[in-house]
Structure 1
Amino acid sequence: MAAPFSLSPWASILPGDLLRLIAGRVLEGDFLDYVRFRAVCTGWRSGTICPRGRGVTDSRFHPRRWMMLTEGHGLYPGYGKLGGYVRFFNLYTGTFIRAKLQLFRNHCALDSVDGLLILQRDEDTTIHVLHPFTGDIAELPPLATLLNQLGGDLNGAPDSTRWFFIRNTICASVSCNARITTVMLAFHNLSRVAFATSQDRHWTMTSWKVPHNVRPLSFSGKLYVVHNPTPTLDATSQVFQIDHPLQDEIGLGSREPPPPRLVATCPPDVLRYPLYLVECDSEILVVGHSDSSFSHILVHKLADLILGRFIPVTSIGDRALFVEQRSLSVSTKSLPTIMAETVIYTHPRTHDFAQFQLGTGIWSRPIDELGLDGFAPGPCSLIHHVLSCCIRNVWNKGLIYSTKEYKKPGWLVWKVKRKFRNGS
């Protein structure tokens, strides 16, 4: 009889330092590849770090390339007939997997950061940061602790109004240090940021405001926003960075993060406002137009703009950039229905979804008109699912974006547990 696979001799003789080096390289590629690597044999499993228990607090184990898939037809995570299962897809390989997440029975999703899910518990608005594949959870204070920190007329507004401003279009960032998880929440409608750690009892709203921006981007535990100081298209655009808050000396709680810091400026002859930020291959790309006609899209690296180098990127390889409320970079190698070297976004003039190919300068529709209007028979295309994942209040309700449905009053209202989830 053949020897058990766990006793494979070639696997067991790998030196420990080489084993850990290989494991680290595998983990840099994909979290689930690392899980499979550890499953090869008992020696590899015992010689490498187990991600369970560290999935949230150790950023090496964040499943960055994975996104929760919206099912369509209103089959939101936690819908009874789904049996507790939620589907995820890999933005680089096109792989689909199912994970059983019973937490969704009384939670709704507010955002996804580096593959982690930002969830709100229905009964008490407690925030949970969930690693969908290890089941690890970091608990943060209830969002209700922000109700009286909104300032201005909102402090006396009805609860439904205040909750709308808190839950609507949240952009979250997550950072970890010494097994303490810190989360920042950027509220687009309030131009404010709130922060808390897994050891705090309440959220704290920053004393400063965020410069008016198009859409924030979460990257490496920080937030980035693009601001146009004057309401004209020919103004110089500014990119601000918001650093995560620092923990105090005894490691309990956190201090207010410093105000937004100007890191780059972009003259209008380089990129015309509006500008968009998207993460691609561990770099931030700045997407904009060459002139006020919006007829041509250019892409720059933020790192170049910081250094004052205004040289556009000539190629993004096999990537397609989806720019919406949430920006995603998708590899087209395993996703043949999505074109490489493209930017897919809402055109600022027509307000319709448009697709621009960087190499040829050709414009096209990413989805046929019938599909986008919700009239196409049969299942939706993958590109339609990805676009829907970029719109948070469509994604978290298991919907597929439709121009016809989006205009209907009440389409984006939760059909269940409405009083707990209003605005999200």
Structure 2
Amino acid sequence: MQIPIWGAKQARSSISIHYKWSDWTKFRVEPAEDDISNSSDQIPIWGAKRARNSTSIQTDWRDWANLGDGPAGLIAERLLANDVADYICFRAVCRPWRLCCTDPRTHCILERRFHPLHWIMLRETGGSPRCRFMNMSTGCSRYVHLPELCGHDVFGPTTEGLLVLLDRTTWVVRLLNPLTRQAVDLPPATALMSKSDLKEASCRRDLLQVSGAGLADDYIFAVHFRWIKTLAVVRPGDVNWTVVARGRWLLPALSFAGRFYCATTEAVMVVETNADQPPRLVIAANLTRPFATIMMDTVHIVDNGGELILVDRQCNGNDNRKYKVYRVDFESKKMVPIHGLGGRAVFIGIERALSVSPLVFPSISEDAIYLGFDGQTTGKLDNSPIHLLYGIAEPRQFEDNIDDSTLYEPLGVDSYLSWCVTGYRDTLRDIV
């Protein structure tokens, strides 16, 4: 039987092997014991027993701990470019490797290199701080223990993979990188609330619902509070929020390519940040038709594999639903109709949306729209998924009484992702 040595190529096999989060940390590079330390040919193989005979000779010994700043640093850079989770695991192997890598917590939390861009937190039952995260580009999942969530309402994740937390006692807004465990406090949300808002918030917990958050610039973070109709930005370390828009109905909102976008009743808007002017909303592209908030129609902006698109869901009180998809053309500031999703699938909720590849999740249909479990998308007429190229929709697995009880049943990845885009009011949970 062959002993798998770290760093060696694995034999091709039809059996896929999945490693847990802690597999890297199990590997330890230790100095040889005194009775064999003088032998330069000893191989310390993880999991193998050390030879007790000082005369034993092994010829392929490698001093993995002392790779040096050059090789270890190069490996760390390549891991970081691929996935910050692999980079964190590499740093956890041993102290010499850790010294060759930059500690993410010494940088600003908005430093993009250390953002878990492809990771989302799945919604599951229970109030445990042990949370499961899924990588949208690989399909792998990992559990992360996050005691930082205790005592907070949890929103997100953002496009950058950061979580937005709201302290239930102080109303302080916090940003948390769930993989590096780095956190930073933002100003209290009470600074954005009127006296009537504060009075209502004392008996209505979801008043400060975050319906969109993300980068508006390299080091400017934007947060949209839906129910108090306020969009504000802040830099880490600021003592006050800067209000960008107040009293306007903005829905939805997300970060795309390092800028913050939201939709009004007439256009897709972007937060403009210039050094000589205060942050403000400007038109990125006009909608093809006005959107009325009193109707059941909804619009959804999505990062569809590096392309910003808009899904127009038309209800009109009829017995069917119509879905039209547009690409946001930033040069002409217009919506360009498209007939599919480029082979991808889009999950939309009233406030959130995400795009995934069926190549990663084969059970998901390509060029299809899946609905979340928001109150406005769980009616008997709202079938899901909707196959855009064929103009047909499948009956939903759950139609009525959508609540946490459905999470106890066997779920496919499509159901988990539908829960991820479901709005805060439908996913709020207590973590004690």
- Aligned with 1:358 (options 382, 388, 391): 388
- Report how far residue 98 of structure 1 moved: 1.1
1:225 to 241, 257, 262: 262
SS at match of 1:112: coil
Which of 311, 333, 345 pairs up with 1:287?
Answer: 311
- Per the alignment, residue 92 of structure 1 pairs with 137
Instruction: Spell out, residue by residue over 1:277-336, the C-alpha distance to the aligned partner (whole angstroms, 9 max, x if none).
Output: 011223211122699776553333213674547351544224443343211112333433
Separation in 2, partners of 1:326, 1:309: 20
- Tell me how far apart the structure 2 counterparts of residues 175 and 46 of structure 1 sit (CA, whole Å): 33
Q: Which runs of 5+ in 1 are unaligned?
A: 77-81, 229-236, 249-254, 399-413, 418-424
What is the Cα-based RMSD across aligned positions, in Å?
4.0
Q: Tell me how far 1:48 sits from its aligned partner.
A: 5.1
* AA partner of residue 144 (structure 2): A
Whether the 8 Å contact between 1:5 and 1:41 is mirrored in structure 2 is no
CA distance in 1, matches of 2:407, 2:134: 23
2:118 to 58, 65, 80: 65
- Match of 2:151? 106
2-structure distance, mates of 1:33, 1:127: 28
Matching of residue 201 in structure 1 with residue 239 in structure 2? yes
* Higher share of residues assigned helix: 1
Look up the match of 1:141: 187
* TM-score after normalising by structure 1: 0.70
- After superposition, the Cα gap between the structure-2 partners of 1:306 and 1:290, relative to the gap in structure 1 and judged at 3 Å, is farther
1:97 CA displacement = 0.7
Match of 1:383 among 378, 391, 414: 414
Residue 139 of structure 1 deviates from its aligned partner by 1.4
- Say if 1:162 and 1:257 are closer, same or farther in 2 by CA, change over 3 A: farther
Q: How many residues align?
A: 361
- 1:68, distance to aligned residue in structure 2 (A): 1.2
1:114-173 superposed Cα distances (whole Å, 9 cap, x missing partner): 21111122332222111111111121122222333x7xxx368544368643x1243222
Identity %: 22
Match of 2:166 in 1: 120
Residue 52 of structure 2 corresponds to none
CA distance in 2, matches of 1:159, 1:295: 35
Which runs of structure 2 are paired with 1:247-266 in the superposition (5 Å)? 256-258=278-280, 260-266=281-287
- The CA deviation at 1:12 is 8.6
| Whole-angstrom distance in 1 between the partners of 2:343 and 2:321 | 22
Question: 1:8-407, aligned counterparts within 5 Å?
Answer: 19=74, 23=77, 26-36=79-89, 49-54=102-107, 56-72=109-125, 75-76=126-127, 82=128, 84-113=129-158, 114-148=160-194, 154=196, 157-160=199-202, 164-165=206-207, 167-174=208-215, 177=218, 182-206=220-244, 208-209=245-246, 211-228=248-265, 237-243=266-272, 256-258=278-280, 260-268=281-289, 274-288=298-312, 296-303=322-329, 306=332, 308=334, 310-312=336-338, 314-345=340-371, 352-369=382-399, 378-393=409-424, 396-398=427-429
Q: Deviations over 1:217-259 (max 9, x none)?
A: 333453322233xxxxxxxx4221123585x9xxxxxx8412x
For 1:226, the aligned partner's letter is A
Deviation at residue 5 of structure 1 after TM alignment: 6.5
User: 3-state DSSP class of the match of 1:86?
Assistant: strand
Higher RCO (C-alpha 8 Å, min separation 6):
1
- Rg (Cα) greater in structure: 2
User: Measured at CA, do residues 50 and 353 of structure 1 come closer, stay the same or move farther in structure 2, by a change above 3 Å?
Assistant: farther
CA contact (8 A) 1:88 1:98 kept: yes
Q: 1:218 to 1:162 in 2, by over 3 A?
A: farther
